[in-house]
Structure 1
Amino acid sequence: MLGLALILPLMLAGCGKKPPPAAPPRPVVAVAATADGQAPGLSLPGQIAARYSTPLSFRVAGKIVERKVRLGDVVKPGQILARLDPADLAKNLAAARAQLDAAQHQFDYARQQLERDQAQSRENLIAPAQMEQTRNAYAAALAQRDQAAQQAALAGDQVNYATLAADHAGVITAEQADTGQNVAAGQAVYNLVWSGELDAISDVPESALASVARGQRATITAGALPGRRFAARVREIAPAADAQSRTYRVKLGIESPPPELRLGMTADVAFAAPDSAPSATFTLPSTALFHDGQDPALWVVRPGDDTLELRRVQVGRYGERTVTVTAGLQPGERVMWQGVHTVSAGEKVRVVAPLHPEDFAR
């Protein structure tokens, strides 16, 4: 009885202990999502390039004896750019013309012989077999004369091919051979970029390829020409991705490019929003973006109990410091802006406003 009397007060004392107080809600920076005024288009870096670029080469082999233009020179159609040593080609032309003269002499003799034999055949002075031989000799002489004439014409063209002329107006952007060098037929000597039409070239990631289509309008801005905007239109989309970057090259034709827009300038390509673009999009700071597996996600504060919910979303554009959410979020929902890697789903939080919200929205 004495032991029971001692244990009973201890048990009663143990039942009177209070549970430990619950941890206070974690303060988090969250802001109500506000829909953008309009759906933004895709914006990607690019560069200015010529629409047409041609490697210039001689159509015959030889030794370069003269070059008349250099890197960066502006050329006109028909302008002489370089010459080959014409000595060997001139000898080939002389030999071809000599063969043509011989073939022409043989043809004239065969024609005269045919005329004599035809006159004698009408008088039955020669046998039919001899007449057939004369006709055969005439046909062979005619074929040899025509072949020699074509060979002489080809040799004459090759002499002309020893002079390299520009086919179009443009700018020399590369030199692949120099004076004194022996070049093969078709070996590039210069690279000519045609003047006039310019393109803006941009590499589009596969995640944004669906928002680009042929004929789509875009606006080009060049860093070297601040405040200037140039209209463009998508004219070509690569059918396959680049093996290394896994991006698709898109070429946009620039409408009426000014002379100040130079080749190789860096540019920003702002694609117009397609008609199928979502009507409600949200621009959030990049610090708000989290992930759920392989998908982008946001931490959303539930309105009833102020607990965190991890919400998968679709991102239409990744900016320098912002992301544009196109699906998965509703206006007015509170989105966590900071510390997304320090919380967990279902955690109770206390929402506080950012001290300087403009620093996150830039």
Structure 2
Amino acid sequence: MNCPGPCARLAARPGAAAPEAPPPLSPRLVRWPRLLSLSATAAIALLIAGCGRNEPPPPAPRPVVAMPAHADERLPAWTLPGEVQARYSTPLSFRVSGKIIERQVRLGDAVAPGQIVARLDPADAAKNAASARAQLTAAQHQLDYARQQLDRDRAQARENLIAATQLEQTRNAYAAALAQRDQAQQQAALAADQLKYTALQADHAGVITAEQADTGQNVAAGEPVYSLAWSGDIDAICDVPESVLAGLSIGQRASVSLGPLPGQTFAAVLREIAPAADPQSRTYRAKLTLEAPTPDVRLGMTANISFDNRSGEGLATYTVPATALFHDGSAPAVWIVKAGDDTLELRRVEVLRYDARTVTLSKGLQAGERVVWQGVHAVAAGEKVRAVPPLHPEDFAS
């Protein structure tokens, strides 16, 4: 079939040149389509692979046993057994040794300052005092003679009747006599005191609470004969266990009831807590001052001492299980589940009281804040958790 178009006519034209072939493509241009094709294929493969695989879900928050903190309405008072004692009690003893020949007071007697309560046999002390007085008299005579001799020698020395060395010897003799007289005076005063010390006097007004020696007994100097409880302030004494110690402070108020006086209650103020525990009982001695004791309050009465353990500043207190207590350094702390994002925060607190299974906190918490009760050593600050109630709440009861 003949081509009627221009190309056929051009080819049929005599003397026309044949058409030129197109130039060959560059190898670089040939590779570009292949690279683009491979890239597109790889992208599509990755897209298909990504669509077929899901991302792993984030880890679920750790469940922790946590419960809201509730303010205590009123803490139960601590009641400890005690005893009524005088604030000051001292032993009465002789300052010299000897044999007791007389006791003038008995157990329970009231005494006044300076009152004689007992006597020793004064015979030996009286002889020593008499001997000391005699020695003092002799020393005084010797001093008088030495003074007279010194006056004569001074007068003769002014007339050049004696040598200077003789005057010097007289002066030395006078000085020695003066020293001996002074020594004899001190010995006489000491002997007089020893004689006076054979009578035992009460130093303060008070009541005899114990007798340690009897008539006819030989006692050494300083050996107690009586115990004297001073008149004045009366204390209630009790031994505080370690679990209660943290909740007590100087100046804290308490109420004291006495067994022999039913129906009466006395106000008291804590004035002293022993700095160290008793080695045997491991308790701390506490002393409280009775503010207005009546005359029928007697020393040695048994007492029940009730401490008002509410916070002295009127702050709310919170009781949590002992397993909730952690430490931030050396300070006690608890883990709080924050309300906004359920993450953990370590909060320092102040412990008011330690009990067998619970602790009472006075500072650092707010009502409604969730406190981790269990597993406090297995969590970390900022960790996201899920608060769950305890399976057996009775395990955390006090």
TM-score normalized by the length of structure 2? 0.63
For residues 2-151 of structure 1, what are the structure 2 equivalents within 5 Å?
36-40=72-76, 42-151=78-187
Q: Check conservation: 2:243, 2:355, Cα contact below 8 A.
A: no
SS of structure 1 residue aligned to 2:246: helix
For residues 314-325 of structure 1, what are the structure 2 equivalents within 5 Å?
316=353
SS of structure 2 residue aligned to 1:120: helix
Cα 1:315/1:323, change in 2 over 3 Å? farther
Distance in 2 (alpha carbons) for counterparts of 1:139 and 1:115: 13
Distance in 2 (alpha carbons) for counterparts of 1:38 and 1:242: 31
1:232 to 259, 268, 288: 268
For residues 245-260 of structure 1, what are the structure 2 equivalents within 5 Å?
245-260=281-296
Deviation at 1:348, TM superposition (A): 8.0
**2:239 paired residue number:** 203
Q: Check conservation: 1:39, 1:279, Cα contact below 8 A.
A: no
Q: Check conservation: 1:96, 1:151, Cα contact below 8 A.
A: yes
Deviation at 1:42, TM superposition (A): 3.9
**1:159 paired residue number:** 195
Per-residue deviation, residues 24-54 of structure 1 (Å, max 9, x unmatched): xxxxxxxxx9854334554322211111111
Per-residue deviation, residues 196-223 of structure 1 (Å, max 9, x unmatched): 2111112112232222222333222222
Q: Check conservation: 1:38, 1:279, Cα contact below 8 A.
A: no
Structure 2: unaligned runs, 5 residues or longer: 1-68, 327-350, 371-388
Distance in 2 (alpha carbons) for counterparts of 1:189 and 1:107: 44
Distance in 2 (alpha carbons) for counterparts of 1:226 and 1:326: 35
Q: Check conservation: 1:278, 1:326, Cα contact below 8 A.
A: no
Q: Check conservation: 2:101, 2:119, Cα contact below 8 A.
A: yes
Per-residue deviation, residues 65-110 of structure 1 (Å, max 9, x unmatched): 1111112222222222111111111110111011001101110011
Per-residue deviation, residues 89-134 of structure 1 (Å, max 9, x unmatched): 1110111011001101110011111111111122222222111111
Deviation at 1:317, TM superposition (A): 7.1
Paired letter, 1:204: V
Paired letter, 1:55: P
Per-residue deviation, residues 216-271 of structure 1 (Å, max 9, x unmatched): 33222222222322222222221111101111111112223221111111212233
Q: Check conservation: 2:321, 2:358, Cα contact below 8 A.
A: no
**2:213 paired residue number:** 177
**Alignment RMSD:** 3.5
Cα 1:238/1:346, change in 2 over 3 Å? closer
1:275 to 304, 307, 312: 312
Distance in 2 (alpha carbons) for counterparts of 1:137 and 1:264: 66
Identity of aligned residues (%): 62
Ranked by relative contact order (alpha carbons within 8 Å, sequence separation 6 or more), the top structure is: 1
Paired letter, 2:114: G
SS of structure 2 residue aligned to 1:70: coil
- State the aligned residue count: 284
**2:330 paired residue number:** none
Distance in 2 (alpha carbons) for counterparts of 1:348 and 1:235: 43
Distance in 2 (alpha carbons) for counterparts of 1:120 and 1:111: 14
Q: Check conservation: 2:85, 2:234, Cα contact below 8 A.
A: yes
Name the larger-Rg structure: 2
SS of structure 2 residue aligned to 1:46: strand
Distance in 2 (alpha carbons) for counterparts of 1:348 and 1:57: 65
